[in-house]
Amino acid sequence: YQYPLMFGLILAFCWCSLVCCSRIYMGMHSILDVIAGFLYAILILVVFHPLVDLIDNFNLTCKYAPLIIISLHLALGIFSFTLDTWSTSRGDTAQILGCGAGVACGSHVNYIMGLKLDPPPNTLPLSLSSLSVTVFGKAILRLLIGVIVLLLTKIGMKKVTIPLACKIFRIPHDDVRKARQRMEVELPYRYITYGMVGFSLMFIVPCLFHFIGLS
């Protein structure tokens, strides 16, 4: 969408500030951690921004893209952590990687099936439409339906993956909270559950919107 540059900068600054301050407030990171993470994010942006179209084209068109994406995200999670004690950071990282893999695979399936859910490039940027009761109601309805589908996906996958991982790795699951802290349970649970959430976000929910006329 076409919007004023200053509005975008203010929104980005506020969002970035809230995220950074929340990490310090929750005691998850120090001020130095946040500064280093911010600078690291800028470095990633500088390096990968010129490659975005190339990576996107690979994700969409390469026949083996889903296999490569899933394998890469799994490897990043498995080899990134060697923890002496349990930490929430391992699960958070697995959750982010799983969701990213699901989103990429969902985009690939959309492309393979010929589902053009995005507007054609020649129509971009879109102009903001005037806010009416119909537009507002449609947006709220999309939000509610989307959230419900994603929550049901998360709950369903959680109910399946945790007991299954415990059974495969022979871990007692009487205490689910304790079982989830084991790497053998936590990583499959986070990857599969949030991978399906990401896939639903990119493929299932948009198809549902298209089917019921909310696209």
Domain ranges of the chain: 1-49, 52-212
> Is the pTM above the cut of 0.85?
no
Residue pair 66/105 in contact (Cβ under 8 Å)? The answer is yes
**Residues of the chain predicted below pLDDT 70:** 80-87, 117
- What's the confidence (pLDDT) of residue 135? 84
Distances in Å between the alpha carbon of 116 and those of 149, 170, 213?
A: 21, 44, 15
* Token pair for 115: 């589902």
For 170, what's the count of Cα atoms within 13 Å in the CB-facing half-sphere? 0
- What's the confidence (pLDDT) of residue 84? 62
Question: Distance between alpha carbon 120 and the CA centroid of its chain, in Å?
Answer: 24
- What's the confidence (pLDDT) of residue 197? 97
